[in-house]
């Protein structure tokens, strides 16, 4: 959450746990958030950091709706979209059947967060936030 707040004021934030607290298996990492002011410059900085991270699995930053979502692209492909009724089932199935994928995705997620922490955020000019448009 602190990493994303570097880019602007968060209105909402959600993060999936790395493992299921009841059964102990690894889960598919995913993060959802919403900025109070969604600037295109902010999106470009975050997308660039995600793209530059040398991940083991492919990742998608979906910002087509009010909340932005960062998750492994495999979920979107297999569910046929974030709004698909199959979305939750796909998340669960991957976690139950492919712990290796979950392990790689969790490693990647930590790498992406580290890359986001290293992004140089431009100084604001004349009291305006450079990340808001």
pLDDT of residue 40: 87
Q: Tokens 């880019």 map to which residue?
A: 7
Q: Is 126 a member of any domain?
A: no
Q: Is 128 a member of any domain?
A: no
Higher pLDDT, residue 25 or 130:
25
Domain that holds residue 97: 2-117
CB atoms near residue 65 (< 10 Å): 11
- Tally of residues, the chain: 133
Whether residue 130 is predicted with pLDDT greater than 80 in this model: the reply is: no
Looking at the structure of the chain, the number of domains it has is: 1
9-19 pLDDT per residue, tens: 999 999 987 87
Residue 118 pLDDT grade (very low, low, confident, very high; cuts 50, 70, 90): very high
Question: Please, are residues 77 and 86 in contact by the beta-carbon 8 Å criterion?
Answer: no
Residue 126 pLDDT grade (very low, low, confident, very high; cuts 50, 70, 90): very low
Q: Is 133 a member of any domain?
A: no
pLDDT of residue 21: 67
Q: Is 122 a member of any domain?
A: no
Q: Is 106 a member of any domain?
A: yes
Q: Is 66 a member of any domain?
A: yes
Please list the residues that pair with 35 across neighbouring strands. Answer: 10
Q: Which two tokens stand for residue 38?
A: 């969604």
């Amino acid at each position: 959450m602190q990493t994303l707040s570097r880019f602007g004021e968060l209105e909402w934030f959600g993060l999936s746990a790395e493992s299921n607290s009841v059964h102990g298996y690894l889960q598919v990492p995913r993060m959802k958030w919403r900025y109070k002011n969604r600037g295109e410059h902010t999106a470009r900085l975050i997308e660039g950091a995600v793209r530059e991270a040398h991940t083991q699995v492919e990742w998608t930053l979906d910002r087509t709706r009010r909340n932005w979502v960062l998750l492994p692209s495999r979920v979107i492909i297999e569910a046929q979209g974030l709004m698909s009724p199959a979305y939750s089932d796909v998340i669960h199935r991957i976690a139950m059947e492919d712990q290796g994928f979950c392990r790689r995705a969790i490693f990647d997620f930590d790498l992406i967060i580290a890359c986001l922490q290293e992004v140089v955020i431009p100084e604001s000019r004349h009291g305006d936030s450079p990340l808001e448009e």
